[in-house]
Structure 1
Amino acid sequence: MADTTGTVEASQPGRYSVPGPPPRPRSQLVGTGFAIAAGAMAVAGALGHYMARRHASGIDPGHDWLAGQSVPNPQLVYALITLLVSVVTAHWAVWASGRGERGHTWVGMALTLVMGLAFFNMVMFSLNRMEFEIGSGEWATLAFAVTGLSLAILIVGMFYLGLMTLRSLGGSVGRDRSTPLGAAVFFWDFAVLAWAATWYVVYVVK
């Protein structure tokens, strides 16, 4: 008796496969970019106003602007170096997250946050040693205003990093899941750059 069972034609690979979800737009990264642009304009405007008032202070701005007062700088240099090291550990965490290495991701972010706290400790120590009072002079007022703006951006960056670290603790690691952490590190890069510009203009150029 002849076999009358019909043969099923083999389908081509992927021909009838259910398509996966479309790639998620990197809306968080784009939003972070807009926030960085706004912050950059604020910092640039503050530093520009500071320099304009400095040059309008007299023939010798470096002396008249400070009214003969000295500004200790070594601790602020150490603080900047600490921030630069935190950038390295933050990018290490993003690299580890992209490879799915959860342990290295957590260690990198923990080191970044600890160095951020150490930075704030050194800056507060330096500002207390200066013994300047807000309102005691134009330089002191503007210096603390510009410094406060940069510190506020760094505080936002610390919270952003902390939130994305908690998210990574929940399992948000891997090549397709590391974008939120990368966005936070992107903002941290900007915050460190904003502080470096503030440090150079206010405490080096004076």
Structure 2
Amino acid sequence: MTALPAPPPLRPRTTVIAGLFVAAASFVGVIGLLALYLARRADALAAGRDWIPEGSLELGPPGMVLWTLIMSVLTVHWAVQAMGRDDRVHSHLALALTGLFGAAVLNQMWFIYTDVGYAIDGGEAQLFFYVLTGAFVVMQIAALVAVAVTLLRSLAGNFSARERDALWATAIFWDVTVFVYGLIWYAVFVTK
């Protein structure tokens, strides 16, 4: 009797590695924009010019965005942990709740945009405001798409306790998105 050839070895965690690369690329791009923003702001303040008009940026709505994102970090990791126990119901619930938090963040960002009333051509500070927060919004939309695709795949039964790499990749990208907003929140909204 002849033995069957061994199956090709599995490449473990390729989805997680891909998620790390996407998260790192997004992070580096936003950090570059943030560094440029901080350098231009320092130049403007050193020259004695106002950067952001006093009272034009409130701390309340951006703070609510931050707290909503912090809650969403808990729910996205709840989804990973629940799938690790083969608890599909709670994993689906956690992913849906994460998506809801993400949609709430987009709604809050829209409120911030309408509240500040900046014009893109209103000056360098206002342009940088839209570039930085817009980069975050793009990352947030990408993270929401990842959560939606992961939820659909999970509902289709593609994940188990042993096969949840896409959940981890989604959680990693979500975490980086939240961290990026934390940096933007501090640099743009707190220190102005």
Q: TM-score scaled by structure 1? A: 0.86
Q: Distance in 2 between matches of 1:74 and 1:67?
A: 17
Aligned to 2:165: 179
Q: Offset of 1:60 from its aligned partner?
A: 7.3
**Pairing 1:62-77 to 2, within 5 Å after superposition:** 64-77=50-63
The one of 24, 27, 37 aligned to 2:24: 37
The one of 147, 152, 172 aligned to 2:138: 152
Aligned to 1:80: 66
Aligned to 2:149: 163
Q: Distance in 2 between matches of 1:77 and 1:187?
A: 21
Q: Offset of 1:129 from its aligned partner?
A: 0.8
The one-character-per-residue Cα deviations of 1:17-46 (angstroms, maximum 9, x if unpaired) are: x97874442111111111112111101100
Q: Distance in 1 between matches of 2:7 and 2:161?
A: 17
Q: 5+ residue gaps in structure 2?
A: none
Aligned to 2:112: 126
Secondary structure of 1:64's partner? Answer: coil
Aligned to 2:13: 26
Q: Offset of 1:67 from its aligned partner?
A: 4.1
The one-character-per-residue Cα deviations of 1:113-147 (angstroms, maximum 9, x if unpaired) are: 00111111111112201111111111101111111
Relative contact order higher in (CA < 8 Å, ≥ 6 apart): 2
Aligned to 1:200: 186
How many pairs does the alignment contain? Answer: 190
8 Å Cα contact 1:97/1:173 also seen in 2: yes
Aligned to 1:52: 39
Q: Distance in 2 between matches of 1:105 and 1:68?
A: 45
Secondary structure of 1:125's partner? Answer: helix
Q: Offset of 1:151 from its aligned partner?
A: 1.0
1:98 and 1:19, CA in 2 relative to 1: closer, same or farther beyond 3 A? farther
Q: 5+ residue gaps in structure 1?
A: 1-15
Q: TM-score scaled by structure 2? A: 0.91
The one-character-per-residue Cα deviations of 1:48-76 (angstroms, maximum 9, x if unpaired) are: 00001001113376x71124453112011
State the structure with more CA Rg: 1
Q: Distance in 1 between matches of 2:117 and 2:134?
A: 16
Aligned to 1:13: none
What is the identity, as a one-letter code, of the residue corresponding to 1:117? A
8 Å Cα contact 1:98/1:173 also seen in 2: no
What is the identity, as a one-letter code, of the residue corresponding to 1:172? N
- Of Structure 1 and Structure 2, the greater helix share is in 2
The one of 58, 69, 77 aligned to 1:91: 77
Question: Over aligned residue pairs, what C-alpha RMSD do you find?
Answer: 2.0
